[in-house]
Amino acid sequence: MAPRKVCIATHTFLPHVGGIERVVYEQSSRLPKYDFEPKVLTSRMGRNRDYVLNGIKVQCYDSLNIGFRFGIPYTIPHFLSYKTFLHCINLSDIVHAHGHPYLSSLLASGIAKKQAKPLVVTQHNTFIKYNGFLDTVERLNDLTVGKGVLRRADKILVVSNATQKYVLSLGISPKKIEVIHNGVDLSRFKNIVGAREKIRRKLKISKESIVVLTVRRLVFKNGIDTLIESAKTAIGKNKKLVFLVIGNGPDFKEVKSRMEQLKIADEFRLTGFVSDQDLPFHYNAADFFVLPSKSGEGLPLVILEAMASGLPVIATKVGGIPEVMIEGLGSIVPPDNPKALADAIVDLSLKKLAPLKEELRGRVTEKHSWDKNVAKLVEIYEELI
């Protein structure tokens, strides 16, 4: 039997870095085992019109990407891109769109319905609070683009119960919604012998330091400002603390300026971009992980990556984060609260963390893997085709 073809529509894809991009990659790379042939349909972002990424075929459409300069990854497909969408969907047996608020999902869902192709939509995040005019724009987009996409879907997959609640708030029937938690690549994120010492030498971090890791796009809406303020307080209480911040973004200069104002540049290290190949080694260099999100989190991959690497996690009570936190192996704090975050960091820095590593790894292995995630996804595809 010939492989069944899946058109996977996403606003951005690797090498552009992001959570949705990673989910699409992990699922697409495993679908061929089940006789599904994926083709990713995504915005061009300055690349070739088509390319292959580790065996995954990618077709690009032209788009306007004005929002990126403001830290909002929102693409607007060019009107000529309609033919690209039409071609990809016409050749497919099923269409899978990622993210309800994107115009790429709206266009893909409209063509899928016209061609009577089964449509799956995965919603990743909850409502993202910008605290201003953009909140109104986002709500309007939800009520127009978002609801249009979700109503056309034959099946809606959500990455957490919190995301499900968000989708239900838009008036969508619960009958076509299913929760499938994200996974983690257990073969990549694990204990790597010698990585701790190697990365610390490279970054000139001493063996005695207690390294607090975060992996974030550097935009203040992601809570990086909260982390900076809490770091100042925490370092004052425990001089061994060193914060390692992996990621880039539009607020990089502002973040650097604030750390210098607070005189914590030596203890608050900005690595910038770290490749997928090197990222697991950096997890191994840390003692624990912090995620200071303010809003919008469906189910962050970085928490699962950290725990698979044996790192206890301190995270904010936002979106689906509490659903994967393990009692006794980390802690939850209120969002946008530097004092509470600093207190949790100091408290965890004074504990013996090595005994927790094996249990964390075991719990994540039991509950979260991409193989389990994709096996469930395939069941849904087969129900619809």
In angstroms, the CA 372 to CA 31 distance is 12
In the chain, the N- to C-terminal Cα span, in Å, equals 14
Angle at the Cα of 274 from the Cα atoms of 269 and 278, rounded to 5 degrees: 115
Q: Which pair of structure tokens corresponds to residue 283?
A: 């997890």
CA distances from 175 to 113, 151, 160 (A): 19, 12, 16
Partnered with residue 313 across adjacent β-strands are 289, 330
Which domains are seen in the chain, by residue range? 4-183+369-384 (3.40.50.2000), 195-367 (3.40.50.2000)
User: What is the spatial order of strands in the sheet that 36-43 belongs to?
Assistant: 50-53, 56-61, 36-43, 4-9, 94-98, 119-123, 155-158, 177-179
* 120-176 per-position pLDDT tens digit: 999 999 998 887 888 899 999 999 999 999 999 999 999 999 999 999 999 999 999
pLDDT of residue 73: 79
- pTM for this model (two decimals): 0.93
Q: Is the peptide bond between 338 and the residue preceding it cis, with omega within 30 degrees of 0?
A: no
pLDDT of residue 46: 75
pLDDT of residue 17: 87
In angstroms, the CA 157 to CA 165 distance is 12
Residue position matching structure tokens 């880039």: 248
| Amino acid (one-letter) located at 345 | I
**Residue ranges, the chain, pLDDT below 50:** none
Give one DSSP letter per residue of 157-185, joined into a string.
EESSHHHHHHHHTTT--GGGEEE------
